[in-house]
Amino acid sequence: MMTSSPVRQFDETSITAAVLAKVGQGKDARTRQISEALVRHLHAFIREVEPTQDEWVQGIQFLTRVGHMCDQHRQEFILLSDTLGASMLVDAINHRGDSAATLSTVLGPFYVDEPPQYPHGADVGGLLKGMPLLVEGSVSGADGKPLAGAIVDIWHADEAGFYDVQQLDRLGELNGRARFQTGPDGRFHFWTVKPSSYPIPDDGPVGDMLRAQGRHPYRPAHVHFMIAAPGHAKLVTHVFERGDSYLDSDVVFGVKDDLIADYERRPAGETVYGRKMDSDYARLTYDFRLAAG
């Protein structure tokens, strides 16, 4: 009795089914779902684009270069995800139905775990250059009740558009990033320097991609916030400067109308917290609401 031989010669119509049969053998259902979807969409992309062998090699070399650009201070794969809109898509999917909470946006590549902790009113700008900026705000639940003891992480660029981790050789330590804990009334405030709009690092493969696509690398001025409190979903967001010329063309698609606020210019003199300023400064006020978690 003759038995059929296994198929060993796949073509463009049969290869997808063969691969799906193999990746679908895993025991974990979520792994099977992800693997099968990846194969279906990757194969569909290849069929649509019909790359040449040289183009396929160029694509592999591009991803290899992205990996080589990653280190403890730079994450080129996050830049790639951000600039292709993938990060914001993942964010949108994971925050459905949080309408009463402050809107989220991308984490970005410059967050540092366990930033230095400071008391309320501290000046965390360090050696960063820029106009003094007073930041004040509150943290509450979606019901509006203040959240005491919430953890507030902040980080931002300087007036030239650079983060501290991009200039550690000059600064010597972290600047313009900090961790605070809200008071009994859910409020916090601190001093730093006013950030500016800036280009994402574009001296690597992601920058090459943007130029090939005819795109600029700029982000509008903003301060990053990561806020956590027990019983609530962690919030990762920015507060953007109203009037910035890049609000409508953020290279990572991260701007949302509700996250735009005034960085109000104030004259020299005594501030609301009693600090005497010899020069003009800016003031940013924003209140955050966390979704139940």
124: Cβ contacts below 8 Å, ≥ 6 apart: 116, 118, 154, 175, 176, 177, 178, 190, 191, 192
Residue 198 and residue 157 in contact, taking contact as beta carbons nearer than 8 Å: yes
The neighbour count for residue 26, using CB atoms within 10 Å, is 14
pTM confidence score: 0.90
Residue with tokens 């992480």: 153
Spell out the CATH class of 99-290. mainly beta
Distance CA 165, CA 176 (A): 10
Helix (H, G, I), strand (E, B) or coil at 254: coil
Structural domain boundaries in the chain:
99-290
Q: How many whole angstroms separate alpha carbon 289 and alpha carbon 95?
A: 14
61-69 contact pairs (CB < 8 A, 24+):
62/205, 62/208, 62/209, 65/204, 65/205, 66/204, 66/205, 66/206, 69/204, 69/205
Residue pLDDT tens, the chain, 293 long:
455 556 678 999 999 999 999 998 889 999 999 999 999 999 999 999 999 999 999 999 999 999 999 988 789 999 999 999 999 999 999 988 767 899 999 998 899 999 999 999 999 999 999 999 999 999 999 999 999 999 999 999 999 999 998 998 888 889 999 999 999 999 999 999 999 999 999 999 999 999 999 999 999 999 999 999 999 999 999 999 999 999 999 999 999 999 999 999 999 999 999 999 999 999 999 999 999 98
Question: Is the Cβ–Cβ distance between 200 and 83 less than 8 Å?
Answer: yes
